Chains A and B, each alone.
Chain A
Amino acid sequence: MKRRNEMRAFSTLLAMLLVSVMVVPAVSAAEEKCWLFEEGKPWFENADKNKDVAFDGKELVKWVSSSSTRSMVGWRVRTHMWDVPLFGEESEHYSQARDSQGYPVDIDYIKVRGRVWYDDDYQGYYLYFDDSDTHYNSADALVHYEDEHQGTTGTFYARGDHWLEDGEDDKWYPVTTDTLH
């Protein structure tokens, strides 16, 4: 009797552990956000404009170059995220140029590229999705991917690549959001 109770308790413990391990990755969402605006607050909570850098683990490069008529400033932001799916996968990459109040500002060039790789149970990484959205004189660019292989296992890897460029450096700020869930 005692042995059966111990076995039952052990089974309960094992079941709860398994449920914990399985459920949490399923509900988790890999997401990266950069320079989100709160209305009325300065944009660079996460960045030091004087140093040309961001502080939140994103890879950020600010380029400076000049055309024959004016200097250009370009921001390149790249993110990489991993996720273990249980019920399919969705990836979204969004570039925005915004003013200090969070309103859209049309800039010379705005582009986002999203790439999604899939590791088929340690058999290697396969490119599943690669798309970009480019605009001139615009404030927004967006790409979106939805996995059709529902119920797959393995690991998804997503890469967001944002590029924003304009001659005016003071009137807009790059806002990028990448999600994988």
Chain B
Amino acid sequence: MENCCRRFVFFFAVIISIFVLVTYTNQYGINNQDTGQKDIGTFDPHSLGDRVGIGLYATPIHDPEYGMPSSVYLNHSAPLECHLFFSNQRPDPGKFLVFVLMDFQQVPFRFEEQDADIVFDASVDPYEEKFFSICIPNLTAGRHDVAIVLAMEPYNHSMDPSFRLSTDLSSVRGMRLNLIVDNDTRQKIPCDDCMNQPFERCDPNYPLNDGLLLTKDACSNKLWYAENATPGETLSYWINCAAGEEYPSKFAIITLMDYRQIPINIDTSDYAIFGELAAGEKISIPAAVPVPKEKGVHEFVAVWIPLPFEYQEKPSSNYKYYNQDKVLVSSVRVGLNVT
């Protein structure tokens, strides 16, 4: 009888173990097949999981032939008109915000014939493709750096770190173009080929490369992604920046609170950081953000915009910034929980 009981318990233990093994196998996505062709799947249940197509077109025809040129020449009396294409191939509606940066500052524009504003809500139904008209009026003469920017999942305020980490590089996306109005005179920026902000130098072994990272301490590698705050207080933080390990980087940085541009520091009106770093150079810039007065979770993000005012077309191999990433990327989105 005892033997029978022992066998039963042993069998029970084996079955439980197999169940646990299978459960873990599924959770960790182990599904290797001999062909090696099987997709193993994502491990982040909170992943953005976007499957979208985005384009900027001169006319609302979904064909690369009608893509917006990277250099646009206009007379000052004409507005800049283009069409944003968004293809949402997901079962959920695609919701995003749209804004325009003209020389790294948000400017009013018209979206879908609505009255001019700084930021517009947009949405695309599941499995829908759509063009949105954009009109930027009141252009001034000279060469401008223009970015049409999309902020993805703007109303997801989850404080879960897995969601926060998934916003790294991608919560804000932008398409840039050079706009030449009347003449090709470049806009003046506060500081060219240097830094327009005080900074601390980081160790060459600091892991960041060709981009930015928000932290609470200078030259720290500990991510700042969430904070509880009280209305009206000021939060100090650091914007860590790095050139590529083997190539220089030239960049602009802007900061957004709930997708509206705010100054880099509370005691200045600087709307952007402009800088250039030599290969392997890494620095940390002190900054401060005022906490909004409204309670709830607010979204704070910094955006790294490479090669300000440089031409967007393919560079020649002797171009100084030949190897620099040319795509606008965001920091991890910081959730500020105001209570």
Footprint of B on A, CB under 8 Å? 1-2, 5-6, 8-10, 12-13, 16-17, 19-21, 24-25, 27-34, 36, 38, 46, 48, 51-68, 71-73, 76, 78-83, 108-109, 111, 113, 115, 117, 119, 124-132, 134, 136, 157, 159, 161, 163, 169
| Nearest-CB residue, chain A, relative to B220 | A126
Produce 1/0 per residue, B76-114, CB < 8 A to A: 000000000101010000000000000000000000000
Q: Which residues of B contact A157 (CB under 8 A)?
A: 162, 165
Majority-rule SS of A interface residues: strand
Q: How long is the Cα–Cα vector from A29 to B32 in the complex, in angstroms?
A: 10
Q: How long is the Cα–Cα vector from A177 to B37 in the complex, in angstroms?
A: 11
Q: How long is the Cα–Cα vector from A128 to B165 in the complex, in angstroms?
A: 14
Q: How many of chain B's residues touch chain A, expressed as a range?
A: 35 or more
Q: Is the CB of A125 within 8 A of B225?
A: yes
Q: How long is the Cα–Cα vector from A62 to B51 in the complex, in angstroms?
A: 9
> How far does the Cβ of B88 sit from chain A's closest Cβ, in whole Å?
9
Q: Is the CB of B52 within 8 A of A53?
A: yes
Q: How long is the Cα–Cα vector from A9 to B64 in the complex, in angstroms?
A: 68
Total A-B residue contacts, Cβ distance less than 8 Å = 228
Q: How long is the Cα–Cα vector from A64 to B223 in the complex, in angstroms?
A: 33
Q: Which residues of B contact A127 (CB under 8 A)?
A: 207-208, 213, 221, 223
Q: Is the CB of A61 within 8 A of B222?
A: no
Q: Is the CB of B25 within 8 A of A16?
A: no
Partner of B42, one of A57, A68, A113: A57
Q: Is the CB of A132 within 8 A of B213?
A: no
Q: Which residues of A contact B50 (CB under 8 A)?
A: 59-61
Q: Is the CB of B221 within 8 A of A53?
A: no
Q: Counting CB contacts under 8 A, is B47 at the interface?
A: yes
